[in-house]
Amino acid sequence: MNFCVAIFLIITLSASPIKNNALRNFTIVWNVGQGQWVTALFGDECLHFDAGGEFFPWKKISQVCSRNRNKLFLSHWDWDHIGALSHWPKWPSCIALHPLGQTTKRKAAILDLIPECSSSKGKQKVGPAVWTPGSNADESNAKSHVVLFKNFLMPGDSPKEQELHWKNQPWIQSTRVLVLGHHGSHTSTSPQLLSQLPHLKMAIASARWKRYHHPHADIESLLKQRHIPMIRTEDWGNIWFEN
């Protein structure tokens, strides 16, 4: 894979790159069960693309991000995308991309504890590309922001109907790694979307098949037909990419 060196580590069994201070440029898909938490580490910044799941490798994440500036890009309000914020440590943190629409008082109160990034603090060294759905989105998944960062495409839980609205964004064509929408549910990742990703090299399922049967067999079959390898956090643990 010539665009990056992919380092796949089950952290509990392998030496961690974070112990080597010279290696500070990673994108990490954390093993959080059914959920999404992707962190891009660049020098003194941690950019978190969602922070949700069923369980969290806090020790590893703390080693990476506790002394860094933490910026949160939240696709939508579902617990499996924001749940870690209910236990968020007192790290220097701000919200760079806020979920759309109304939510419960409890979820709103959790996010209210974290300030919005100011225009100066929120300025990225290499900014993500973001697509935001219009006001016609009528349910939580359809309100998902879609984010591309360093050739990683993270659609949140954006369903196939919404993919039709953003699949023609010119910037998504640079995608090399797709974090499967809705954890590999058959409600996301349409053939029409994959046809717009000519440079796609890999798909990642941040999910738990044993409990939720994600990724769905239809999505696995579709990826196989297109010769796109897929890896699961359930099998590999935390997945590290050196950029």
Domains held by the chain: number: 1
pLDDT of 125 reads 54
pLDDT of 155 reads 97
User: Per-10-residue mean pLDDT for the chain, 243 residues long?
Assistant: 40 45 77 96 92 96 95 97 96 96 95 88 67 81 96 97 95 97 94 97 92 88 97 95 86
Structure tokens of 77?
Answer: 């309000």
The DSSP string of 31-67 is --SSS--EEEEETTEEEEE---SS---HHHHHHHHTT
pLDDT of 126 reads 61
pLDDT of 134 reads 85
Place of tokens 């992707």: 38
pLDDT of 49 reads 98
pLDDT of 10 reads 35
Range of the domain at 103: 5-242
Place of tokens 């973001």: 130
Q: Is 112 left (phi over 0), alpha (psi -120 to 50) or beta?
A: alpha
48: domain CATH number? 3.60.15.10
> In degrees rounded to 5, what are phi and psi of residue 80?
-75, 5
> In degrees rounded to 5, what are phi and psi of residue 152?
-100, 125
